Amino acid sequence: MSTISDPGPFARELLHKLDLKPPIDVFFICDNFNIIIKNDKLRDFEAVFILHKGAKKIVLNENINYETRKNFTIAHEIGHYILPWHKQTMYICDSIDIQSFQSKKSEEVEANRFAAELLIPTEYLLDDIKNKEINIALIKQLAEKYKVSLTSIGIRIVENTYNPIALVLSENGKIKWSIKSKSFLKKILPNGTYLREQSFAFDFFNGNCIPAGPQMVYSIGWLENGSFYEYIKEESLQMPNLNMVLTLLTFENQEEEFNDNEFDDW
């Protein structure tokens, strides 16, 4: 992967210039730059940004159902327009690059980071999570406030908290991706691993309901070096429409985890 430049300052400058506060109206931003938004058939692509003889257009895949996803995708395309080193006159953006946040293409990663900072500006987010217990209820509440998906806000919280927390998205019984805060020092099971029966997320894919609120589970359910002697706090949220489960992992006893020397590649 080529080097990623930080698009954050460009998103913040844009918000400042247009005097915008969350929830950010991406349509207003497009109006401001005379960027036309169109919905069209795009097969597997999420969206296209086109700059042609000074005219600017974003074409969105007409199959995008969720408003939050639409907002993020438009913010991503605005990133291609605003970031000065994004010089192509056309960006054809794959759903997988925008949705997975694990794209290998540097310009796609940058446009995603631009979108994340534009829709969930760090200064507001830090205020919203200060001295708060991070749980699914807070993730839901902030997703509502910023008009973004649960995963978008969840990722931003994990990136900006001092608490040892991790977020895991599971799909079809397997871990799709995970992200952890700097102080979460344990290794989560790798992407693509089948969920283990010691987790509540496993239950959802086996036809059972997940109890609301945090639950203590054996760490072997989620961690690479987990065991039946150690517990981890799991709060899982089933998303039946997407056949996915979003899981928040935390430790009851944070001190113990801080003293662990198991640093990995953060």
Least distance (Å) from Zn ion to the CB of residue 80? 6
Least distance (Å) from Zn ion to the CB of residue 92? 8
Using CB atoms within 10 A of its CB, is residue 196 exposed (0-12), middle (13-18) or buried (19+)? middle
Of 117, 122, 81, 75, the C-alpha closest to 98 is: 75
Contact segment (CB under 5 A) with Zn ion among 17-25, 64-72, 93-101, 252-260 equals 93-101
Compute the chain's Rg from CA coordinates.
19
- Residue in the shown chain whose Cβ atom is closest to Zn ion: 93
Least distance (Å) from Zn ion to the CB of residue 94? 8
Kindly tell me which of 114 and 205 has the beta carbon lying closer to Zn ion: 114
Do the bridges between strand 90-94 and strand 174-180 make them parallel or antiparallel, or are there none, so unpaired?
unpaired
Pattern 108-127, Zn ion, x by CB under 5 A: x--x----------------
Q: Which two tokens stand for residue 195?
A: 């969920």
Kindly tell me which of 93 and 118 has the beta carbon lying closer to Zn ion: 93
Question: Three-state secondary structure along 227-238?
Answer: CCCCEEEEEEEE
Least distance (Å) from Zn ion to the CB of residue 45? 10
C-alpha dist (Å) from residue 158 to 25, 95, 105, 250: 24, 23, 22, 11
Choice from 26, 93, 109, 237 touching Zn ion (CB under 5 A): 93
Contact segment (CB under 5 A) with Zn ion among 89-97, 156-164, 165-173, 205-213 equals 89-97
**Binding footprint of Zn ion on the chain (CB under 5 A):** 91, 93, 108, 111
